[in-house]
């Protein structure tokens, strides 16, 4: 299972959803879907833009967990 830790990175950077949305160029609704883990996919260009805005690596946002 892939877990998206976008909320963790946003908190570490003290960045709001509105600010990230403006920096990345994605709607708040789409970022919210990603943040809550309801997204089925994420484009690499989107992931790149998020990593640039949050000054992080993809592995800081995406995490693989085994289901138990």
Identify the pLDDT of residue 67: 77
pLDDT band at 68 (very low <50, low <70, confident <90, very high): low
Question: How do residues 3-40 score in pLDDT, each as one tens digit?
Answer: 999 999 999 999 999 999 999 999 999 999 999 989 99
Q: What is the pTM of this model?
A: 0.89
Is the domain defined by 2-64 classed in CATH 1.20.140.10? no
pLDDT for 47 beyond 80 = yes
Name the residue ranges covered by the structural domains of the chain. Answer: 2-64
CB within 8 Å of 36: residues ≥ 6 apart: none
């Amino acid at each position: 299972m892939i877990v998206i830790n976008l909320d963790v990175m946003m908190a570490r950077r003290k960045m709001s959803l509105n600010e990230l949305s403006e920096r990345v160029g994605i709607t708040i609704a789409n970022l919210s879907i990603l943040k809550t883990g309801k997204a089925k996919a994420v484009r690499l260009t989107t992931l790149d833009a998020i990593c640039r805005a949050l000054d992080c690596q993809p592995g800081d946002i995406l995490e693989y967990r085994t289901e138990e």
